[in-house]
A and B are shown apart, each in its own frame.
Chain A
Amino acid sequence: MAIFNKSIGIRHLVCGSCNGCEHEMNALAGPDYDITQHGWDIVASPRHADVVTVTGPMTEAMRVPAQRTLEAVPGPKVIVAIGDCAVGCGVFAGSAGVGAGACVELGATIAVPGCPPTPSMIKAGLLRAAQALGGPSQPAARDDSMSGSTKVGSTRCTSERAG
């Protein structure tokens, strides 16, 4: 089973994104960035997911569906915030009409900033998620995954510009 440790299922959650991050996420299914070569897939149900990617500053109407989606994902799971809006609201920071960013509101532990981040940056963020879930290079994260802790509600958000 060890060789499948990093074959993550990814569920994508859009919380008020402008669709820019979605265009770059879509490239992951194309031949240039093809994530299936790593055994990764965008899955059709939260029940099949290990990683939830979130975009957007968070809107009123997405708060409940977003929480329900996260609750439907079995542990261990990792939440990855994609794009400046999710990480810190980007150009909409401080606007009364949006939330605090999906990263803070949903407790993402990996942040991929950029407006939008490039597909390569997103892929690097997903690689960190895969390592956090099962990779031998991240023993601390592995302990987390073994305990089944979900980190929902955590506001810890490590920001790192991925290559």
Chain B
Amino acid sequence: MIKGEIEVGPAAVRTAVAERLEHGSALGAYASDRGVRYLFIEKHGVQVLSARVDSSEPVAAVSGTCPGLSWDEREMADEFGIAFDALPDARPFRPVNGELAPAVVATGPGVTQVVVGPVHAGIIEPGRFTFSSGGETIAHLDFQIGFSHRHLEQSFEGADPLDLAPRVARVCGACSASRSLAYAMAVESISDARIADPVHIARQIVVELERVYNHVFDLAVCSAAAGWGFGQAVGLGLKECALRICHAATGHRLLFDAIVPGGVRDGVLDDREEVQTLVVMLQESVEQYVRAIFDNTSLISRWSETGTLTYDAARALAVVGPAHRASGGLVDVRDAAPYGAYRWLPIVAAREEGGDVLARCRVKVAELRDSFRIIHRAFEHLGSRRLNRSAVIPPETGDTVTVVEGPRGAETVALTVRGTVVERVHFISASYRNWPAVAHATTGNIVPDAPLVNKSFNLCYACADR
């Protein structure tokens, strides 16, 4: 999916990134032994801006002007020893010997700090939230991760790219199918493997099912966080229906290992009629659920003007996915740089302006409806055609970047193969991209709304920690 690569000197990175941001949105940045790379999603593909690392010349840090890339640059500094010029936040990104860097706090008369985590009061992954609040109002929130860091990228180096697929599927459970698709596309791209149309269509059904179960779950937890028990119960019931459809479609409730390099796993979409019938039933129930949500005046009132993320803030923080589109953003990877079946079976991109919890929920409702439309259309095009797997033979060397639109936004995989094994693989998840925006959107809200703002993004920790 790389449409172009520009190479600049380390000192020119900041200016060059600012120029690229005129054309598209940042996907992230990463380092390898060969240097640093900044990635952008533009019309028709990924633009790469790279710089060789030179010990005499530091890289001009971008996070001062594009704070959304702060995590990427801190990670590059920690893990690859990249020397940056003017890194605004130079704290170690992840815990060192089990200890996190001190949190950034607000101080002043009447301002107090509350630390939450890493272990949370629910079924939630580990992370540390440090709230500074004056009375009920949150003055600052510092969110720090790293507790689920499994050193996955390092441990994947040297592996056969095909053997790696089951581990890639388990980088994160909630966006597994999207990441498996991006990874399969990367392996197939460097191997020049041709994928048959029916397989592309089957994969489209699989990743849209992932969006359906995640978006329904998001509505359920946004109901719960606003104290609406009925909405939570109904939403969790519908999510269970969605997971059972996923099982009927792929043999796995969370779609693990359904998409593999070369195709889809044996057995995927064997019983198409059954899956289609279940999807129709779920769609009807979701419509009733959506009606109940928007008929609930007090719920909508609670969702309105809570956790507002302005267009400018979303842009500066490089926000992706439904959160980006709820703040007036226009980018949906399926639309901007279509891949697989999206090239001839397009989506209708959703968009809202408000940037609050309500806008994010509205975007997800619109996307749910479009996902159902996409799934039905995909089944029509698929018919009874067989899903033959293509041979994938990774070459001696190869390098690519792929990106797909997962439930939370752009899921990026950068893969370099050398000597038929993985030299470097880097995952930029939508959750990694959007966490700083959660902290930003929470600021200025009252403490009891912090979980609601958080759940309106509903991000994962596992794919951000890796």
Within 8 A of B (CB), among A84-124: 90-92, 95-98, 115-116, 118
Nearest to A94 among chain B residues (CB) is: B155
Instruction: Tell me if B240 and A97 are in contact (CB < 8 A).
Output: no
Question: Does any Cβ of A come within 8 Å of B48's Cβ?
Answer: no
In the complex, what residues of A have CB within 8 A of residue B121's CB?
Answer: 43-45
Instruction: Tell me if A30 and B98 are in contact (CB < 8 A).
Output: no
Instruction: Tell me if B240 and A16 are in contact (CB < 8 A).
Output: no
Instruction: Tell me if B256 and A19 are in contact (CB < 8 A).
Output: no
Min Cβ gap A34→B in Å is 9
Complex Cα gap A30–B233 (Å) = 6
Question: Does any Cβ of A come within 8 Å of B151's Cβ?
Answer: yes
Nearest to A33 among chain B residues (CB) is: B240
The stretch of B141-149, B285-293, B302-310 in contact with A is B141-149
Min Cβ gap B182→A in Å is 16
Nearest to B244 among chain A residues (CB) is: A32
Instruction: Tell me if A65 and B126 are in contact (CB < 8 A).
Output: yes
Summarize B's interface: helix, strand, loop or mixed: loop
Question: Does any Cβ of B come within 8 Å of A144's Cβ?
Answer: no
In the complex, what residues of A have CB within 8 A of residue B67's CB?
Answer: none
Interface range, B side: 35 or more
Q: A24-B253, A45-B121, A116-B254 are in contact. Are A98 and B150 (CB under 8 A)?
A: yes
Nearest to B247 among chain A residues (CB) is: A118
Summarize A's interface: helix, strand, loop or mixed: mixed
Within 8 A of A (CB), among B142-178: 146-152, 154-155, 166-167, 170-174, 176
Instruction: Tell me if A19 and B125 are in contact (CB < 8 A).
Output: yes
Complex Cα gap A46–B119 (Å) = 10
Min Cβ gap A64→B in Å is 6
Complex Cα gap A141–B462 (Å) = 35
In the complex, what residues of A have CB within 8 A of residue B155's CB?
Answer: 92, 95-97
Instruction: Tell me if A92 and B167 are in contact (CB < 8 A).
Output: yes
Instruction: Tell me if B126 and A19 are in contact (CB < 8 A).
Output: no
Within 8 A of B (CB), among A13-71: 13-27, 29-32, 42-46, 56-57, 59-66, 69
Complex Cα gap A97–B155 (Å) = 7
Instruction: Tell me if B122 and A12 are in contact (CB < 8 A).
Output: yes
Min Cβ gap A99→B in Å is 9
Within 8 A of A (CB), among B354-403: none
Q: Would you give 17 A-B contacts (Cβ < 8 Å), ordered by A?
A: A14-B125, A15-B126, A16-B462, A17-B173, A22-B124, A23-B174, A23-B217, A23-B243, A26-B217, A27-B236, A27-B243, A30-B233, A30-B237, A59-B148, A60-B98, A91-B167, A97-B154
Known: A20-B176, A22-B124, A61-B118. 7 other contacts (CB 8 A): A30-B239, A31-B233, A31-B237, A63-B98, A69-B119, A91-B166, A92-B167
Question: Which residues of A are in contact with B by a Cβ distance under 8 Å?
Answer: 12-27, 29-32, 42-46, 56-57, 59-66, 69, 90-92, 95-98, 115-116, 118
